């Protein structure tokens, strides 16, 4: 009788585990668009980021298989932005940032995307507060990645819960 109960318990456990594998979706980040060719990166003179800092943030994504064009620093960005580029600047007065002490929104990326072809034409990264991982996270948005709520993930929407994990972001 004990063996029979043990066999049933093991069978139920195996069935439950099998259902879990087959019916729980594999949660991975979502990429809404991509670049047709590697984007150039312009660092506006008002951005408070050095070329070395931007190169380091870009290197995070290069290790995952992404390519970038030339990185140009100390650019006067008041005259507009070029197509096929990522521009790094400080927030404009119309960017929708709240109080600088509000840590919920410390960076913002706005992209021009052809929704029909899912191609990114340009992106502007605005950073309110410089912290570790913020530029890497915003470059992720500029590459088309949406926020992803796994704890310690680079694309986590809350900086305090984010980290360096790049699960699901590598170029295939």
pLDDT in tens, 29-54: 999 999 999 999 999 998 989 999 99
**Inter-helix orientation angle 134-142/51-62, to 10°:** 60
Write down the H helix ranges in 24-163: 51-62, 134-142
- Is 9's pLDDT higher than 50? no
Confidence of residue 20 (pLDDT cuts 50, 70, 90): very low
Architecture of domain 34-95+102-161 in CATH? 3-Layer(aba) Sandwich (3.40)
In the numeric block, the tokens 């949406």 are attached to: 146
Cα(145)–Cα(39) distance, integer angstroms = 15
Q: Report how far Cα 5 is from the mean position of its chain's Cα atoms.
A: 50
Cα(117)–Cα(38) distance, integer angstroms = 16
**pLDDT the model gives residue 16:** 46
Confidence of residue 172 (pLDDT cuts 50, 70, 90): confident
Cα(122)–Cα(114) distance, integer angstroms = 10
Tell me the pTM.
0.81
Reading phi first (left if > 0) and then psi (alpha if -120 to 50, else beta), residue 65 is in left
User: Quick one: which of 120, 137, 119 has its CA closest to 128?
Assistant: 137
**pLDDT the model gives residue 112:** 95
Classify 43 as helix, strand or coil. strand
């Amino acid at each position: 009788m004990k063996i029979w109960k043990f066999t049933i318990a093991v069978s139920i456990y195996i069935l439950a585990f099998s259902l879990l594998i087959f019916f729980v979706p594999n949660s991975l980040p979502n990429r809404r668009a991509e670049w047709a060719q590697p984007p150039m990166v312009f660092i506006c003179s008002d951005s408070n980021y050095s070329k070395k800092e931007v190169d380091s943030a870009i290197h995070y994504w290069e290790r995952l298989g992404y390519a970038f064009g030339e990185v140009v620093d100390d650019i006067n960005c008041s005259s507009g932005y070029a197509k096929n580029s990522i521009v790094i600047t400080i927030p404009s007065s119309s960017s929708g940032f709240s109080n600088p002490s509000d840590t919920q929104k410390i960076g913002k990326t706005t992209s021009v995307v052809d929704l029909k072809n899912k191609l990114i034409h340009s992106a502007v990264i605005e950073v309110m507060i410089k912290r570790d991982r913020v530029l890497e996270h915003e470059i992720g948005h500029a590459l088309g990645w949406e926020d992803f709520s796994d704890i310690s993930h680079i694309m986590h929407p809350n900086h305090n819960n984010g980290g360096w994990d790049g699960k699901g972001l590598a170029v295939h």
